[in-house]
């Protein structure tokens, strides 16, 4: 019976990972949980197909004592040819009552938000995405990690 459960678990993990459409996933740790304004996080996704639509999500790991409802980010994307696009993104991580809009366990919360949905990359190759916080303090406390996930968009029904 234990062998059957073990093989069933392996099969389930294999099937779930086969359905994964991530083309890029990377997280950067924030040293000591204090994000310095000069600590620009760099991500370098490789885009092989310009004929597909993609979604870009950001993941933020923060402590429950993070002192703000939101997180402002400056995102600079450089295409393989050197073309630059700069965006400002507000991540609203708590509602007006202060309740986290995150998956929290203990003192740690994981927040995911959509940065871009159903976009086409216009060039093949390696992109560089630089992310800097845009908060009013130079040393932003209790942000532990920031990550990017790029997936193929799901077809609309």
pLDDT per position as a tens digit, 116-139: 999 999 999 999 999 999 999 999
Domain residues for the domain of 126 are: 22-152
More confident residue, 4 or 79: 79
Whole-number pLDDT of residue 157: 60
Do the beta carbons of residue 26 and residue 147 sit within 8 Å?
A: yes
Classified as helix, coil or strand, 148 is strand
User: Whole-prediction pTM value?
Assistant: 0.82
In a domain, 12, yes or no: no
In a domain, 97, yes or no: yes
* 50 vs 52: CA distance, rounded Å: 6
pLDDT per position as a tens digit, 27-51: 999 999 999 999 999 999 999 999 9
In a domain, 157, yes or no: no
Number of domains the chain is built from = 1
In a domain, 116, yes or no: yes
In a domain, 7, yes or no: no
In a domain, 11, yes or no: no
Do the beta carbons of residue 127 and residue 48 sit within 8 Å?
A: no
The backbone torsions φ and ψ at residue 79, rounded to the nearest 5 degrees and listed phi first, read -75, 165
In a domain, 14, yes or no: no
CB atoms within 10 A of CB 142: 19
Q: What is the CATH number of the domain that holds 140?
A: 2.60.120.260
Closest CA to 141 of 73, 88, 65: 65
* 83 vs 81: CA distance, rounded Å: 6
Confidence check: pLDDT of 91 > 60: yes
């Amino acid at each position: 019976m234990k062998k059957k459960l073990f093989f069933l678990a392996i099969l389930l993990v294999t099937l779930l990972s086969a359905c994964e459409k991530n083309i890029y996933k990377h997280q950067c740790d924030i040293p000591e949980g204090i994000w310095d304004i000069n600590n620009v996080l760099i991500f370098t996704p490789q885009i092989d197909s310009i004929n597909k639509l993609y979604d870009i999500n950001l993941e933020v790991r923060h402590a429950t004592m993070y002192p703000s409802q939101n997180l402002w980010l400056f995102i600079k994307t450089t295409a393989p040819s050197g073309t630059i696009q700069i965006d400002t993104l507000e991540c609203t991580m708590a509602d007006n009552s202060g309740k986290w809009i995150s998956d929290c366990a203990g003192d740690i919360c994981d927040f995911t938000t959509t940065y871009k949905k159903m976009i086409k990359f216009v060039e093949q190759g390696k992109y560089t995405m630089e992310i800097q916080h845009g908060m009013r303090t130079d040393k932003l406390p209790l942000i532990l990690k920031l990550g990017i996930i790029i997936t193929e968009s799901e077809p609309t029904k």
